[in-house]
Amino acid sequence: MNKQLISKERKQYLRNKKYKQYMVWLTQIAILVGFLAVWEILANQKIIDSFIMSQPSRIWETFTNLSSNDLMKHIGVTVYETVVGFLLGTGLGIIIAIILWWSDFLSKVAEPYLVVLNSLPKVALRTSHYYMGGSRNASYYCDGSGYFLNCNNFRKPKWIFKN
């Protein structure tokens, strides 16, 4: 078997390419470690509210105690519900699409309703806001639906900080 000869320039090019790839990987790791360190320091110094933003050390502690707090069971239930919901929604959508494709009459009857449903924000289609978690920053003027930017948080953008 003949080995193909590689020129010095090609070897140098491959070395430079590997070096750049290594430096990108090293920089990505350094950014991640720096972000986690700053996050931990800010939470320890009470600059950010660790109840809302947690801390990397608390997250790590939770992951190391997976068996004691049944986190894996809850992750399994969440994954199961997500997959079943996706499959049911996709299957029902395919069945409805086939029915509307086959029946010109049903297609014309359903068209205005489907246009209105498609124009609505998908968040508005949920059944009730009472099933959402209550926000600890909710005021009397808010429904406490747990939105990231509910009316109280929107008016006071410093809600994430302790002071």
Give the residue, 95 or 139, on which the prediction is more confident: 95
The 3-state DSSP class for residue 48 equals strand
Q: How confident is the model at residue 84 (pLDDT cuts 50, 70, 90)?
A: very high
CA distance 98 to 117: 18
Q: How confident is the model at residue 141 (pLDDT cuts 50, 70, 90)?
A: very low
CA distance 108 to 104: 6
CA distance 54 to 60: 11
**Average pLDDT over all residues of the chain:** 81
Greatest C-alpha distance within the chain: 81
Say which DSSP state 113 is in.
H
Residue 131 scores a pLDDT above 70: no
Residue 1 scores a pLDDT above 70: no
Say which DSSP state 47 is in.
S
47 and 163 in contact (C-beta within 8 Å)? Answer: no
pTM of the full structure: 0.43
39 and 56 in contact (C-beta within 8 Å)? Answer: yes
Residue 12 scores a pLDDT above 70: yes
Highest-confidence range of 61-70, 82-91, 149-158, by mean pLDDT?
82-91
Amino acid at 76: G
Cβ count near 135 (within 10 Å) = 19
Query: What is the arithmetic mean of pLDDT over 53-80?
Result: 86
Give the residue, 119 or 4, on which the prediction is more confident: 119
